[in-house]
Each structure stands twice: as structure tokens, then as C-alpha cells.
Amino acid sequence: MRQCVVVLLPLTGGLLLPRVAAASTADFGGDAASAVVQRVARWAVDSADNKGLPFVIVDKVGSKVFVFDPRGWLRGAAPALLGSAQGDGSTPGIGDRPLSTIRPEERTTPAGRFVATLARASKGEEILWVDYDAAIALHRVIATAPKERRLQRLESAEPLDRRITYGCINVPVAFYEQVVAPSFRRGGGIVYVLPETLSVDEVFGLRGEMR
């Protein structure tokens, strides 16, 4: 049984950006994208690795999500809550285990390239499935446990404050509904989750000449 459950919540903050420039120009419209994010965005478009589909880059180090249209134009960016544990892999079989059995060190958001599609969670809420086997999805922020202060963490300027989930990627409600869902509604897309312990060359097989 998949453990990722989504609850619809009131509107919370998120940075919504217009389409500003092609990713191959590395112009993020003034958004604070790291050099690694820019490199992967250029590579995804210039190599056609995104297969003409919309794509998302999840920057785990910066705890931020970037959404691009099929041409590589930035549609929006927002802070994100990610797995509380550092690491780029997933424990085998973790997607079939109850949340109560998942140890703190297993709560990672795995790095990699994933073919993602919109689907419905156990209670019927829409989510973007990223890694089905590991039960990792990108969805609206969950704030049903007040002590976790997830809404406040999303607004924090410190990326480490946004490491709180069991592995799923939580984004502001408005950002999910206005940017993520419309981008993937016509047939899915690609999600690139950047590594934090490995290199992007190891994870995505980038050639040395890609800068």
C-alpha cells in the first residue's frame, strides 16, 4: 500500500514566475538558481533528454523546485519541503511499509531522473507521482501535524529548515495548482531530483563538456 497521502490545505505562499527565457540560455529571470540547477536545465533541453515534455528540477541542497515547459522555459519556482534525512537513494521496499516503521535515516528524497504522471492518492487527492516504487510524490504541502510547522518551514530562508518529510516533495498549494498540475496535465513529464551526496555526473551521466 502506498503511504503518500495528500490533504488539501488553505492557500500558502509560493513564488510564481512568468515564462522568462529558454533554459539553454541559463536565464532564470533573476531567480536564484544554483549553477548545478542551471547546468542540468541546459543539458535536459540541449540533449533532448526531456523528450519534448515539461520537466521539474528539484534542488535538494537549496530545497527548491523549478518547473519548465517542454521548450525549457521556466514557468515557476518555489520552496519545497523534502525528506528529513540526507541521502540520494531509497531503502528497498520502503514504498510498501507503513510510515510508522520508517526510521529517521530512511526518510530520504531519492535523486535521479523520473518519468512523472498525475494520479490520485488514497483519499482521491491529486498528486504528481515521481518514484512509485519508493512512494515518492510531489504534492501540496501537508500541515496536519502542527508541531512540524510545515507552513512556517516553507517560508524559512534556511534550506535546512525545509527538510521535514518522509521523502515526498511538498510545495505551496498555489504553486502546485497554478504551475505544477497544469504543466503535467496533458500527459506527464520528467522530474530531475538533484543529488546531495553524489555528483550530477554520476546520477545523470553528464559528459565533462557540459558546463
pLDDT exceeds 70 at position 54 = yes
Residue 177's pLDDT is what? 96
pLDDT exceeds 90 at position 6 = no
SS (H, E, C) 170-206: EECHHHHHHHHHHHHCCCCEEEEECCCCCCHHHHHCC
pLDDT exceeds 70 at position 105 = yes
Higher-pLDDT residue of 207, 115: 115
DSSP annotation of 71: T
pLDDT exceeds 80 at position 208 = no
Residue 13's pLDDT is what? 44
Cα distances from 41 to residues 22, 55, 132, in angstroms, run: 9, 9, 24
Domain range annotation of the chain: 23-204
Secondary structure percentages of the chain, helix, strand, coil, to 5? 25, 25, 50
Beta pairing partners, 112? 193
pLDDT exceeds 90 at position 139 = yes
> If pLDDT is split at 50, 70 and 90, which confidence band does 30 have?
low
- Cβ atoms of residues 42 and 23 within 8 Å: yes
> CATH number of 23-204: 3.40.190.10, 3.30.2130.30, 3.20.20.60, 2.40.440.10?
2.40.440.10
Q: What is the mean pLDDT of residues 203-208?
A: 80
Q: Which residue has the cell 519556482?
A: 77
